[in-house]
Amino acid sequence: MKILALLKRVPDTEAKILINQEGTGIKDEGIKYVINTYDEYAVEEGLRLKEKTGGTSTVTVVCAGPEEATELIRTALAMGADDAVHVCDKALERPDPFVIAAVLAKAIKAEGFDIIFCGKQAIDDDMGQIQSILAEMLDIPQVNVATAFELAADAKRATVRRRVEGGDEKVETSLPVIVSCEKGLNDPRYASLPGIMKAKKKEIRKKTLADLGFAQAPGDARSTILRWLPPQKSSGCTMVKAEETRDAVKELVRLLREEAKVV
């Protein structure tokens, strides 16, 4: 069984995000990048499926992203994925989801697959579109926001539990299928040291757009980001600071009376 897991490089959730001067993106300094959290569930689910099906099953990581994504791909390989396809091309800087999906679709078709796992969304831009566009382009069913996955005994169908408003939905799907993963699906493993050592020797197939057969830009972007704007500073709350609680209370009362005019 050929299992694919899609992976995106995103800023760490704890990183302090600042928008660059031109407003075209975020400042890179001081930012640590990690595997998109939901993609970790995808890699883990792929590995679990591989372990369950055994035999000739393989997990291939597919990533479209900058050169620096390599170390994160290695992390996924250290977790136990067998190999990876890394589409890395200057032309892919700040693309829209449609373009990325078109690129991934090419790479995935060339690779072949029985099942694709991916995150339900990337935690940076929160678009959550890739899985649906991909399903369309590959002409396969999609099941989104999966919290449980079970392959049928004949390996031709799968039962997926997905989170919906107010409850869970159980979906049966045929294979091949793309499943987008939600928190709770599994607990991604921590790579063992032998895993890390082995990952250094595993193959990452680097592809440019030309390698994938794109003569020029891979399809039209369906959207363009004009400008990034920082969130408006909310008036927020004022911390009343004072050494003694008594003074703090006095100051609070003054603020409520004179500034907020509520008492």
The Cα 263–Cα 184 span in angstroms is: 47
252 lines the binding site for other proteins (CB under 8 A): no
Question: In terms of CB distance, is 14 or 220 closer to other proteins?
Answer: 14
**Candidate segments 97-105, 124-132, 182-190, 232-240, binder of other proteins by CB under 8 A:** 182-190
The Cα 225–Cα 25 span in angstroms is: 9
**Candidate segments 12-20, 177-185, 205-213, 255-263, binder of other proteins by CB under 8 A:** 12-20
- Which residue among 54, 55, 166, 194 contacts other proteins (CB under 8 A)? 194
233 lines the binding site for other proteins (CB under 8 A): no
Minimal distance in Å, beta carbon 204 to other proteins?
A: 17
193 lines the binding site for other proteins (CB under 8 A): yes
Minimal distance in Å, beta carbon 200 to other proteins?
A: 7
191 lines the binding site for other proteins (CB under 8 A): yes
- Find the helix packing angle between 37-53 and 70-79, rounded to 10°: 40
Strand partners, 118: 180
Task: Show Cβ contacts of residue 79 under 8 Å, excluding neighbours closer than 6 positions.
Answer: 43, 44, 47, 188, 189, 191, 195
For residue 176, is the peptide bond before it cis, meaning its omega torsion is within 30 degrees of 0?
Answer: yes
**Candidate segments 178-186, 193-201, 213-221, 231-239, binder of other proteins by CB under 8 A:** 193-201
The Cα 27–Cα 7 span in angstroms is: 22
Q: Which two tokens stand for residue 256?
A: 């409520």
123 lines the binding site for other proteins (CB under 8 A): no
- Which residue among 22, 190, 239, 261 contacts other proteins (CB under 8 A)? 190
Number of neighbours of residue 245 by Cβ within 10 angstroms: 8
How many residues make contact with other proteins (CB under 8 A)?
21
Burial class, 262, CB count within 10 angstroms (exposed 0-12 / middle 13-18 / buried 19+): exposed
Question: In terms of CB distance, is 10 or 178 closer to other proteins?
Answer: 10
Q: Which two tokens stand for residue 4?
A: 């694919």
For residue 141, is the peptide bond before it cis, meaning its omega torsion is within 30 degrees of 0?
Answer: no
* Beta strands 2-7; 58-64: pairing state: parallel
Contact by Cβ (8 Å): 40, 188: yes
34 lines the binding site for other proteins (CB under 8 A): yes
183 lines the binding site for other proteins (CB under 8 A): no
Contact pattern from residue 195 through residue 224 relative to other proteins, giving x for each residue in contact according to CB under 8 A and a dash for the rest? xxx--xx-----------------------
66 lines the binding site for other proteins (CB under 8 A): no
- Which residue among 192, 208, 223, 238 contacts other proteins (CB under 8 A)? 192
Strand partners, 45: none
Residues that bind other proteins (CB under 8 A): 12-16, 30-32, 34, 187, 189-197, 200-201
